[in-house]
Amino acid sequence: MLTKEELLLYIENEKQAILQRGEAFFQCAELGFCELQTAEKITNLLDEWGVSYQKEVALTGVIATIGKGVGYHIGFAADIDALPRKDGNGTIHSCGHSIQTTMALSVLKALSDSGIVEQTDGRVSFFFTPAEEYIDFAYRDGLIEEGKLEFRSGKQNMIALGCFDGVDCVLSAHANGEEEAKFDIGSTLAGFMAKKAVFIGRAAHSGAAPHLGRNTLHGAVLAMNAISFLKDQFAAECGLRLNPVLTEGGGSVNVIPDRTVLETYVRANDNETLFQACQRVDACFEHCAKALELQCFISNTAGYLPLKQSKELNKTVRQNMLLFCKSEEIIENPVSGASGDVGDLSFLLPTIQFGFSGVKGRFHDDSFMVSDYENCYITSAKVVLGAIYDLLTEKSRRVYPQKFQQSKKEYLGRLRTKE
């Protein structure tokens, strides 16, 4: 069997092709559940490399498996979606998901070309997952109404479709904004719930008879204030984040607004805080509405769960990082207020997501760009490949899901219940 060093050469020797692919995927920025060209690029490569796959999974997802062993089933999840540009001019990979896509393909090709998986008792599946960014609800909810999807995110749908049944662990990676370090490991990701409060009041002439109206904008503004005071009552480590936005305000300036919509995510680092904060935000909506004789209708959509990382898997990943950097170049256990549907996977089975640096500009902004090609595309792929090598060849490193089916039932039960 190849040594790890020999296996890693499969990436080193492909460097130019990998960097070109990275650029091509970065240029191919498509919103969630619209990633048709991205999926086609992926499947074209898989065809060229003779790797079989399933496509159109949760509309635009692709799954490819290397090896047939039943001893241990490793998953690597790569997001493929992009975001709208802030300047309104099309789309951009401003969260760096194209880097993950490229990384997955580099690791997949090295495993496929080397034939190493077939010499072990394991197999490795690559999940190219659509629609990680939690946006574009009108489009996605339309797809749900048409029966083409069940949920708003790629991994949520793939979980419901059974794509992760029988997978023993999931590895993933995400760009981070760090300049001082090469990698981060053990990061939190917050969980969140999406909330929408519709305030209904009474319209009236704002000059002649404002007192006859019941101003819904006032109700929403009052609720926003209550919510901002509420944040004070949670400890910093809970990671509570509340940033409400008015998605519908008033109409004409001479009319007292009679319908205002306030939406917010409730984000928290753990399930307990998330649950509690949701109830208290509801109380802010309801009581502020009541104070001004308005009606308030609240609807909730379950977002993503907090990420709980597997310490055992992270140990293996960290050892592989150390092949390429010093320990002070690895940030340990950072706290992040961001969220991802990889958190949902971590509720079901041992999961990790490490961070890699090498991007600059702001995330979710048009200024985002890849700056360190070596770290993003080459070194990070080697870390993943090295960790997979270890899991395939050393059984003591393997961790398995506990009660997968039971957790999945509980998880889907919660997603399917709308308050």
| Residue 151 or 285 having the CB closest to Zn ion | 151
As a whole number of angstroms, the distance between CA 157 and CA 251 comes to 37
Candidates 89-97, 119-127, 200-208, 389-397: pick the segment binding Zn ion (CB under 5 A): 89-97
| Residue the block writes with tokens 């050892």 | 319
Handedness of CA 354, 384, 317, 127 (dihedral sign): positive
Nearest approach in angstroms of CB 82 to Zn ion is: 9
For residue 131, which phi and psi values (nearest 5 degrees)? 45, 60
Nearest approach in angstroms of CB 304 to Zn ion is: 11
Check: CB of residue 53 under 8 Å from CB of residue 124.
no
Coil vs helix vs strand at 95 = coil
Q: How far from each other are the two terminal CA atoms of the chain, in whole angstroms?
A: 55
Nearest approach in angstroms of CB 132 to Zn ion is: 6
| Residue 83 or 223 having the CB closest to Zn ion | 83
Candidates 16-24, 90-98, 260-268, 409-417: pick the segment binding Zn ion (CB under 5 A): 90-98
Nearest approach in angstroms of CB 175 to Zn ion is: 7
Counting residues that bind Zn ion (by CB under 5 A) gives 1
| Residue 95 or 223 having the CB closest to Zn ion | 95
Check: CB of residue 192 under 8 Å from CB of residue 303.
yes
Could you give the angle at the alpha carbon of 165 between the alpha carbons of 162 and 168, nearest 5°? 150
Per DSSP, what are the bridge partners of residue 92? 83
Interface with Zn ion in residues 92-121 (CB under 5 A):
95
| Residue the block writes with tokens 């002439």 | 205
Nearest approach in angstroms of CB 338 to Zn ion is: 7
| Residue 95 or 278 having the CB closest to Zn ion | 95
| Residue 95 or 160 having the CB closest to Zn ion | 95
Interface with Zn ion in residues 30-69 (CB under 5 A):
none
| Residue 72 or 151 having the CB closest to Zn ion | 151
Coil vs helix vs strand at 69 = coil
Nearest approach in angstroms of CB 17 to Zn ion is: 25
Residue nearest Zn ion, Cβ-based? 95
The tally of CA atoms less than 13 A away on the side-chain side of residue 38 is 35
Q: Where along the sequence are the contacts to Zn ion (CB under 5 A)?
A: 95
